[in-house]
Amino acid sequence: MLIRALHDEGVDILFGYPGGAVLHIYDAIFQQDKVEHILVRHEQAATHAADGYARATGKPGVVLVTSGPGATNAITGIATAYMDSIPMIVISGQVESRMIGSDAFQETDMVGVSRPIVKHSFMVQHASEIPSVVKKAFHLATTGRPGPVVIDVPKDVTDPKVKLPYEYPKDISLRSYQVPGKGHSGQIKKAVEALLSAKRPMIYAGGGVIQGNGAELLTKLTRKLGYPITNTLMGLGAYPATDKQFLGMLGMHGTYEANMAMHYCDVLLGIGARFDDRVTNSDTSKFCPDATILHVDIDPASISKTVTADVPIVGSVTAVLEEMLDQLGKSKSKVDKEALDIWWQQIEQWRDRKCLAVAPSTDGRIKPQQAVKAVYEITKGDAYVSSDVGQHQMFAAQHYPFDKPRRWINSGGLGTMGFGLPAAMGVQFAFPDAISVCITGEGSFQMNLQEYATCMQYQLPIKIICLNNQALGMVKQWQDMQYGGRHSHSTYSESLPDFTKLAEAYGHVGIRIEHYDELYSKLEEAFALKDKLVFVDIAVDPDEHVYPMAIKGGAMKDMVLSKTERT
């Protein structure tokens, strides 16, 4: 009944791992061929794979795990999806109803454990509830601000001996849950007038634009206005990164020009972004001191949470952007071209600083930024790029410009190491013919490397680009900058595996690159192996830091630009 309900909901793939409490469900899976089940090697990877699938497609990712350890292993992946508002359904097995609360074998209070990191959760009380619970769960996960929903299913509820009439509900209404639709027209009008009156405008767009499928409309609006735009880490791809109006990513490791333009703007349009601490820097009183702040978000709780909005607009990005474009056409006011020209001249001066430029090393050692740039060039900027968390993630975000939404797959909010490989699997299942790249570090990669086996089983030709600096690079960078260079437990160079042999042990291909001269040729060799998973182990300069970097407690204009320069 559960699998039938999933099929009726349009699910064709789910990621999972079997166990005692879900054996009835697995038997049902065995006896049908409509919903494909992907066997991962760890439940955390199931959630990340479903998450990667959801980010790349916009459809909800579905996970099936057993009770107890199966459920708790899924927690990190659920929290990852929750922080980034990714639609996900996690079905967890539970011990039989009569055993609940008795500390039975593999019993965990999943609804309780997952409560702070889900949009909602259900415990199915009776088999007859399955269709309506599944319907509600998908409705909740995919509408409004999306998020993960847990369905906890006691084993007796899926007992095949219980036969019931089955009917899948066509639609569902929840009296306590309304999805915000269009924004308030009066507020949108105010926002449009504010935008047109701006002398130094700035647009700041986040992951909500991608999740809400608003990238095209945002691009249209931004081009029509001719205003500068920046994207958050989660929003990369919401506006074409190679366009001249794009100032790069903002925030802690954002570009000099994006952060300066943020600080000095007089009207800021924040859309689908939540003004989080990695953007605003820690002291929000110093944030955009001269700006009138317009904030569009589907979640009222995101508005005025950290930075007070002057014009709050609650609504879906597409509806709000459509109306903005409409009102822009009707408005009697016009863009102040003269002021905008002066503003752009200022921005170009900031841009001329070339804050992301990298000096090649003299001894042939590869700079991590060069490796990302090479991957960008070889994939012609058209790959799906998943990443893990740390320096490599920031280098990828800075040096792989994304022109399309849903191409950059990373754990922004929770910052989950180990996310990259399983997420790249989810992407590859969604788009078997696309290039699915995982840019990782040797630290993050080792957190979910068991998924090599899953990749072999399903023949996933993922290209793993490991920026190997023999250390937990971001930790080490902070230790260099704030802890007198005391590298407490951030290095382990003497105990790293031979990554080439490790890949080969699982039946994949391993390539090692140590010198800049061979960077392009060997990467091309790797990408030419279209049917194989290739692990490219790139020895990068271990002393490299990610710059720019926000100065703690400062404003957005306060940045460290290199080992010797500050703003």
Active-site residue set:
43, 105-106, 155, 474
Judged by CB under 8 A, does residue 333 bind other proteins? no
| CA 149 – CA 141 distance, rounded (Å) | 6
Interface pick for other proteins out of 123, 372, 394, 439 (rule CB under 8 A): 123
Residue 233 Cβ vs other proteins, minimum distance, rounded to whole Å = 23
Judged by CB under 8 A, does residue 534 bind other proteins? no
Return the number of the residue (121 or 468) whose C-beta is nearest other proteins: 121
Judged by CB under 8 A, does residue 119 bind other proteins? yes
**For tokens 């690159």, what's the residue?**
513
Residue 305 Cβ vs other proteins, minimum distance, rounded to whole Å = 6
Residue 302 Cβ vs other proteins, minimum distance, rounded to whole Å = 9
Return the number of the residue (178 or 333) whose C-beta is nearest other proteins: 178
Residues shown for the chain: 567
Interface pick for other proteins out of 72, 132, 304, 491 (rule CB under 8 A): 304
- Beta-carbon count within 10 A of 146 CB: 24
Q: Which stretch binds other proteins (CB under 8 A): 115-123, 204-212, 404-412, 478-486?
A: 115-123
Judged by CB under 8 A, does residue 92 bind other proteins? no
Residue 280 Cβ vs other proteins, minimum distance, rounded to whole Å = 15
Return the number of the residue (139 or 392) whose C-beta is nearest other proteins: 139
User: Please, what's the b/e burial string for 112-141 (b: 16 or more CB within 10 A of its CB; e: otherwise)?
Assistant: ebbeebbbbbbbbeebeebbbbbbbbbbbb
Residue 128 Cβ vs other proteins, minimum distance, rounded to whole Å = 16
Closest CA to 540 of 378, 364, 389, 388: 364
For residue 486, with 0-12 CB atoms within 10 Å meaning exposed, 13-18 middle and 19 or more buried, which class applies?
A: exposed
Q: Which stretch binds other proteins (CB under 8 A): 114-122, 192-200, 214-222, 286-294?
A: 114-122
Provide the phi-psi class of 364: left if phi over 0, else alpha when psi is between -120 and 50, else beta.
left
Judged by CB under 8 A, does residue 176 bind other proteins? yes
Judged by CB under 8 A, does residue 184 bind other proteins? no
Q: Which stretch binds other proteins (CB under 8 A): 173-181, 280-288, 323-331, 559-567?
A: 173-181
Q: Which stretch binds other proteins (CB under 8 A): 8-16, 79-87, 171-179, 451-459?
A: 171-179
Interface pick for other proteins out of 305, 353, 404, 532 (rule CB under 8 A): 305
Provide the phi-psi class of 566: left if phi over 0, else alpha when psi is between -120 and 50, else beta.
beta
| CA 498 – CA 102 distance, rounded (Å) | 47
Q: Which stretch binds other proteins (CB under 8 A): 7-15, 24-32, 293-301, 331-339?
A: 293-301
Strand order of the β-sheet with 509-513 is: 408-409, 384-387, 436-440, 463-468, 534-539, 509-513
| CA 548 – CA 389 distance, rounded (Å) | 17
DSSP H/E element including 296: strand 292-297
Interface pick for other proteins out of 112, 169, 289, 360 (rule CB under 8 A): 112
**φ, ψ at 176 (rounded to 5°):** -100, 10
Return the number of the residue (176 or 564) whose C-beta is nearest other proteins: 176
Q: Nearest-5° angle of CA 325, CA 405, CA 145?
A: 75
Judged by CB under 8 A, does residue 115 bind other proteins? yes
Q: Which stretch binds other proteins (CB under 8 A): 95-103, 108-116, 390-398, 471-479?
A: 108-116
Residue 122 Cβ vs other proteins, minimum distance, rounded to whole Å = 9
Return the number of the residue (177 or 431) whose C-beta is nearest other proteins: 177
Per CB under 8 A, which of residues 370..429 are in contact with other proteins? none
Interface pick for other proteins out of 47, 76, 108, 121 (rule CB under 8 A): 121
Return the number of the residue (147 or 207) whose C-beta is nearest other proteins: 147
Per CB under 8 A, which of residues 130..169 are in contact with other proteins? 140
The β-bridge relationship of strands 436-440 and 229-231 is unpaired
DSSP H/E element including 89: strand 88-94
| CA 96 – CA 153 distance, rounded (Å) | 9
**AA identity, residue 7:** H
Helix (H, G, I), strand (E, B) or coil at 480: helix
Judged by CB under 8 A, does residue 116 bind other proteins? yes
Q: How many residues bind other proteins (CB under 8 A)?
A: 19
Helix (H, G, I), strand (E, B) or coil at 549: strand
Residue 98 Cβ vs other proteins, minimum distance, rounded to whole Å = 16
| CA 494 – CA 516 distance, rounded (Å) | 23
| CA 188 – CA 320 distance, rounded (Å) | 7
Judged by CB under 8 A, does residue 175 bind other proteins? yes
Residue 184 Cβ vs other proteins, minimum distance, rounded to whole Å = 16
| CA 61 – CA 370 distance, rounded (Å) | 34
Judged by CB under 8 A, does residue 91 bind other proteins? no
Return the number of the residue (141 or 294) whose C-beta is nearest other proteins: 141
The β-bridge relationship of strands 549-550 and 559-560 is antiparallel
**For tokens 């010198």, what's the residue?**
515
| CA 93 – CA 86 distance, rounded (Å) | 22
Judged by CB under 8 A, does residue 493 bind other proteins? no
Residue 352 DSSP label = T
Residue 75 Cβ vs other proteins, minimum distance, rounded to whole Å = 15
DSSP H/E element including 529: none
Residue 159 Cβ vs other proteins, minimum distance, rounded to whole Å = 22
Tokens representing 485 are: 């260079």
Do the beta carbons of residue 426 and residue 46 sit within 8 Å? no
Interface pick for other proteins out of 101, 181, 186, 300 (rule CB under 8 A): 300
Interface pick for other proteins out of 120, 220, 223, 404 (rule CB under 8 A): 120
What residues make contact with other proteins under the rule CB under 8 A?
Answer: 111-112, 115-116, 119-121, 123, 140, 174-177, 299-301, 304-305, 308
